[in-house]
Amino acid sequence: MLAVGAILCFLTLGGLALMSGNDGSQSEVPQAPTDPTLRSIDDTNSIDTVSEEPVLPAADFWSDNTSGGAPLKVQFFDESNGSPTSWNWNFGDRVTSTKQNPIHTYTTAGVYTVGETVTNEEGKDTEIKTKYITVTSSKDTDTLVDTGSTEKNTDTASRSGGTALTDTASQSTGTAPTADFSASHTTGEAPLKVSFTDESTGSPTEWKWNFGDGSPIIDGTTSAYQNPTHTYEKAGVYEVKETAINSVGRDTETKTGYITVTSPEDTGTSVDTGTASEPTETAPVADFSASQTSGEVPLTISFSDESTGSPTEWKWNFGDGSPIIDGTTSAYQNPTHTYEKAGVYEVKETAINSVGRDTEIKTGYITVT
């Protein structure tokens, strides 16, 4: 019998409870399996305290960029488990941050190790990614001249600790990609299966996709990653992001509110009467022409949209590394562009309306001497 004023403590181990009295005696009592829990019971048989097993955080993170020329802007994303309440980042260049998802700019060439420490009320954990960020010298990039030679160049930089960092690389004759993509359709009922088509320029060799619905980010180098298919299981409006990567650099295209998925219940009940109404609008068929297709530098060309299907938006890629233009006014429908360097250029136009889109690509269309 428990004496007045005595306290009985027992630890539930899952299957047995180890019970101890204040006289030092112990006994095992069968229990249903449960998580380890410490309980304190007084002589009135009431539970005074219950302490659940602590859950420690598990640190992890990723970034939208891991290499490029200085200054290199990188967005870091915390992916830790265990509901951390504080974050401490070390970017490897003597700069730190306490934000959950910080943005950091590397201003000096080098290879950097990044660490993240996360903390909750039970403890802390640290994730360290060695040689995670590679920053090349913007000076080296600016002074490269394409002579057709593949001779290697070597640059040596002195780091703050006195260690010399030597970077030997072959001159790159390519260009960084410009990311872009389209979808087979952008609206529909759940489950909605969408086929995405990569329309990036610059010959990317790797593709990373974020479909915006919480599914895992996919990243690979095969055609399955270049033109993936994804099924949206729940109603919602989703942002889609594609990152195109090659040996020279990377670029990300983000389309906000791009995919709209509705619930089947939202559409009500339809009755098949055996007749169907004709659509009032059709998807466009893209086409275009140019005022001239050859000439000397600088060559200014007026492009004319010749698409059918009444497009309301036009997207142009002139193939010379200039920004892709995208808009809904006549300036975007029939743009003028100046080619500043000699070369042979591919031109791409995408015509868009509320029903769909179509892209016309003319390879080797413009020759500039």
The CATH superfamily holding the domain 288-368 is Immunoglobulins (2.60.40.10)
- In SS3 terms, 70-134 reads as CCEEEEEEECCECCCCEEEEECCCCCEECCCCCEEEECCCEEEEEEEEEEECCEEEEEEEEEEEE
Strand order in the sheet with 336-339: 288-290, 299-305, 336-339
What does pTM read for this prediction?
Answer: 0.35
Q: What share of the chain is helix, strand, coil (3-state, %, to 5)?
A: 5, 50, 45
Q: Output the tens digit of pLDDT for each of the chain's 369 residues.
A: 555 555 555 555 455 555 555 566 666 655 544 444 445 455 555 554 444 456 788 899 989 989 999 999 999 999 888 889 999 999 999 999 999 999 999 999 999 999 999 999 889 999 999 899 999 986 544 444 444 444 445 444 444 444 444 444 444 467 889 999 999 989 999 999 999 999 999 999 999 999 999 888 888 888 889 999 999 999 999 999 999 999 888 899 999 999 999 988 765 544 444 444 444 578 889 999 999 999 999 999 999 999 998 999 999 999 998 888 988 888 899 999 999 999 999 999 999 988 888 889 999 999 999
Q: Which fold has domain 61-138?
A: Immunoglobulin-like (2.60.40)
- Is the CATH number 2.60.40.10 carried by domain 181-266? yes
**From-to residues of CATH 2.60.40.10 in the chain:** 61-138, 181-266, 288-368
Q: State the burial class of residue 200 (Cβ atoms within 10 Å of its Cβ: 0-12, 13-18, 19+).
A: buried
Long-range own/partner contacts, residues 159-166 (CB < 8 A, 24 or more apart): 159/110, 160/94, 165/109, 165/110, 165/111
